[in-house]
Chain A
């Protein structure tokens, strides 16, 4: 069974950096790109970017490309999302999901990041 387990909730000050982990099990980690999605309170889903766990290649959406780093650790089957220069509008749930058969079929449980002074 494919499972993605994300790290716990974070509270950060404006300007800080957050790094969220996404531990994968149930399939070969390097097989599928891992996507990251943001959902602010009461808002829709916003795609942030993806990482290729096999080669480390990344694609970032324009909105986040200057502050976002996505990585993948093949030794621990874990993907990471690091967001720098946090601001209040970064308060959101963040989800990881592998792209399988052209779809985000399984999602992590989500990690709530709260940015507050």
Chain B
């Protein structure tokens, strides 16, 4: 089981807002920044959010990140059908001296 805990699935309807949580500990989310990735089937992961809430160039502002204490969240507003993907949170853990990924959340757009 991953040290960063995500719900295995989430869903929403087109146009809706959905949030995906990522729960960690003081040694990871609590003391380091969080990143979020999106992965479509058969492709490499793509960075969506870095430094908790910053978007790389080209990522729409429908995607936003937040962090509070030892938890983080990715919000997607104005859901599109092509937002169907697996979303991962990730970050460094000072105790394990390792990069961690959450288990991934499969988002379905109904």
Interchain CB contact under 8 A, A44 and B104: yes
Q: Name 23 interchain pairs, CB-CB below 8 A, sorted by A.
A: A35-B99, A44-B101, A44-B103, A45-B88, A45-B90, A47-B98, A47-B99, A50-B99, A59-B97, A61-B98, A95-B45, A101-B51, A102-B50, A102-B92, A103-B50, A104-B37, A104-B47, A105-B56, A107-B44, A107-B45, A107-B46, A108-B44, A109-B44
CB within 8 Å for A45 and B50 given contacts A103-B35, A104-B35 = no
Instruction: Give per-residue flags for B28-55: 1 if the beta carbon is below 8 A from chain A beta carbons, else 0.
Output: 0000110101010000111100110000
In the docked arrangement, what's the CA distance between A99 and B90, Å?
12
Closest approach, in angstroms, between the C-beta of A49 and any C-beta of chain B?
8
Mark B residues whose CB is within 8 Å of A.
2, 32-33, 35, 37, 39, 44-47, 50-51, 56, 86, 88, 90, 92, 97-104
Residues on the A chain within 8 Å of B44, using CB: 95, 107-110
Residues on the B chain within 8 Å of A73, using CB: none
Interface centre among A45, A50, A95, A99 (most CB of B within 10 A): A45
From DSSP, what is the main secondary structure of chain B's interface residues? Answer: strand
Residues on the A chain within 8 Å of B101, using CB: 37, 44-47
Residues on the B chain within 8 Å of A107, using CB: 44-46
Residues on the B chain within 8 Å of A104, using CB: 35, 37, 45, 47, 90
Interchain CB contact under 8 A, A45 and B51: no
